[in-house]
Each structure stands twice: as C-alpha cells, then as structure tokens.
Chains A and B, each alone.
Chain A
C-alpha cells in the first residue's frame, strides 16, 4: 500500500470540512475525490501533499507519517495545483529544467516530453505567451519530466480541450500501469479501467 489516511479531519473558518476520513491507495490505483464546490477537495489534496497540516489524524506513505519523511516523501510526489506553477518569463524548456532540478529527473529527454504534450514547437517560447490550455499542458508536462510514484492533481483538465484530455487520460493510465498512484479531483469524466479507480465523495455530511 502506498498511501493511507487515518482519522483525517480538516477545518476551515471554524467549519468542519471533513472528519475521520480514511482511505487506502495501492500502487496502480487512482483515487478520484468528488464533491460540490467548497467541500474541501483542494484542502484534502494539499494535506496529502504536506503543504497543509491536517487538523486531526495523519497521512501515511508506505506506512510512515509524511511529516516525518519530509524530503523523502516530497521527492516521490508530484503536485499540480490550481496554479500552474509555470514561470511566465521562462521558456517551456527552462520551466521543465527547473522542475527537474527541484525533483528527481525522469529518463525522458525534455524534447520528448514536450513532444508528448504537443508543445514541441514552443520549447524556446516564453511560457507567458502561451494560451491557458497550453500552460496547463506545460504544468502537466512536469509529471513526465520528473519521476514520482504519487501524482496529486487538482482539476488537471481545467482549460484543456477534448484532444488534450484524452492525451492526458492516456498518460495517467500508463502511470497506473507502471505501478504509480494518482489522487485527483475532476469535474470531467475520464475513461479509465474501472477496477483501478476508487471514488471518494466529500461533502455528504453537515
């Protein structure tokens, strides 16, 4: 088992978003977190990355609490949040090189990474002049440029067109086949083998 939570709870503005949340995620599985706006999906994801502290309970990575693992956990996690984390003044290649310097580089060539997300011709283009969807693709290209077992994705398909969504659904499927794991929120349906997907519904209480 890769990721597990125990009695996880989270509060915001004195309101309990979720309580006693428990799930287990194995290698090769995807967890889709669902629920209406403001139900704590993003908060849950940020707790799982370690960016935010849980108000109760703990997150375990291969059986050890993530706050004790720190860097050893971070190098195995790739997070794409609401913000793309793309520097507008840097070119696409420079952005990916930075991502590699911060994490564990994958064996793929960066040109191949850009090729895979259909940004090859924009390698030397400053990211600021890309469209919103292209920036999103560049943010998601970090997943390919670095090597991490766990991908945590907050609405990865925002501003992507249908073709790009299908493209990344394929990327996700390959990651699961390579014994990786994914936690994501999404309002879009993607087609993945049903046995690999767990669904977690937030916001049913209160």
Chain B
C-alpha cells in the first residue's frame, strides 16, 4: 500500500474527482450551455424571418456563442480549488503538476465543451445551416473547444489570485481565442458554400496539438505564481 500511485492513476483519479464535483454542482456547470443555447435562439427572433440571412451567418453565430460560453465557464477550472486550499494540495503533490493540470482541463472540457458539441447539430438545424456544412461545424467544435479550454486555463491560472480578475481574464484570453474563431467559422463557411474546408481544419488541429503540449506547463507555472 505504501506506494504512490502511478501518474496515469493520479491523472484518472483527479479527472474523476472533477467530474464528480461537476455532477454535484450541476446548476453551476449548466450555465454556459444554457447561455450558448439562449444566445443562439435569440438571433432568429431579433433578425426576423429571413432564412437566407440566418443560414449565411449561422457559422459565425454558433462560434461566437461557443467562444463566449467557454469564457463564461473558465473561472470554474481553478476557482473553487483556489478558494478552499485544494489547489495548494495539488501543487504540493508528488506528481508533475502539469499532468494534473491537464486532467483538470480535460474534465473542464468534458463538462463544458462536450455539451456544446451535442447541442450544436440541433441549433445548426434551427438556423437552417445547409446539412453538408454540419459535419464540418461539429468537427471544428470538437477540435476547437479543447483549445479554448487549454488557453483559457493559462489565463485563469494567472488571474485566480486576483480579487476581481474577471475583466483581466477576458482581456488576456480573448485575443488568443480570435485565431480559433476565425479558422473555425471560416471552415464551416467554406463547407456551407461548397468549398474544401480541410486547410482550416488542419490549422485548428495544429492549434490543438500546440496548446496541448504547451498550455499545461504554462498553466502550472502560472498557478505557482498565483498561490505564492
């Protein structure tokens, strides 16, 4: 028994713990999803009955809403752990902190990013997006939202120690989200108009690989600064 867990076991353990916490705090984690759905359902009401217009701007609307929903949920990655001192315990763990951070970000994406992926087809249909563009939309959400969580984690880690870090967080993170927004919306747009979206998709995948390999280390370093 007196043997520390392997890194994989610790990773899975922390992931499960965060999912369990999310399950017990359902209301808090439902907010971003609700926001995503509400914003998108408001557009047809505001723009009037013009199916062509809606279909044309649908990729943009869905992606802007996804981006804002992701921002809304960011603070929850580290906030409660910071407030109750669990974060100190994680930083003092025998395991590499970057991997534990990655477990927390994975849990965050499963709770906030994955639901967006699941409701997106419904919303795309509602906005009248051409059905040939929908697989591309889903693919961009699948590849793009983890990037949002990974980049956002760095921002939260930097600002979690500040009392009113919300504004700084959005100023920090939003510019870094813009490339994802541009490539994801443009890929979907291309697919809707019959062009090949693969260049943009490859770009998004490159973003994902880049942020998966760098963000956990940056986040761990930022957390150390925030708790000291």
Contacts and interface: CB of A to CB of B under 8 A. Distances in A.
Interface of A: 46, 49-53, 71-72, 74-75, 77, 79, 81-90, 94, 97-107, 142, 147
B81 to A, nearest CB: 8
Contacts of A46: 228
Interface string B22-58: 0011000000000000000000000000000000000
B193 interface: no
15 contacts: A52-B228, A79-B92, A83-B88, A85-B86, A85-B88, A85-B89, A89-B21, A90-B20, A90-B24, A101-B13, A102-B100, A103-B4, A103-B94, A105-B4, A142-B89
Contacts of A86: 84-86
A90 B84 CA distance: 13
Given A49-B92, A87-B21, A94-B20, 14 more contacts: A50-B92, A51-B92, A52-B227, A72-B94, A74-B94, A79-B89, A83-B85, A83-B88, A88-B84, A90-B17, A90-B21, A105-B3, A105-B5, A107-B1
Contacts of B17: 87, 90, 94, 98
B227 A102 contact: no
A204 B89 CA distance: 31
Contacts of B100: 102
B221 interface: no
B4 A74 contact: no
Contacts of A52: 227-228
B13 A51 contact: no
Contact of B25 (A53, A89, A100): A89
Contacts of A81: 85, 88
A91 to B, nearest CB: 10
Contact of B14 (A74, A101, A104): A101
A75 B20 CA distance: 25
B92 A74 contact: yes
Interface string B97-141: 000100000000000000000000000000000000000000000
A46 B228 CA distance: 8
A126 to B, nearest CB: 8
Given A81-B85, A87-B86, A89-B25, A75 B2 contact: no
B30 to A, nearest CB: 15
Q: Which 8 residue pairs of A and B lie closest in terms of their CB atoms, listed nearest first?
A: A83-B85, A75-B94, A85-B85, A102-B93, A101-B13, A52-B228, A89-B24, A104-B4
B165 interface: no
B10 A102 contact: yes
B93 to A, nearest CB: 4
Nearest to A70: B96
Given A51-B227, A75-B4, A102 B90 contact: yes
A183 B198 CA distance: 59
Contacts of B93: 71, 74, 102-103
Contacts of B10: 101-102
A147 B100 CA distance: 20
A101 to B, nearest CB: 4
Nearest to B224: A51
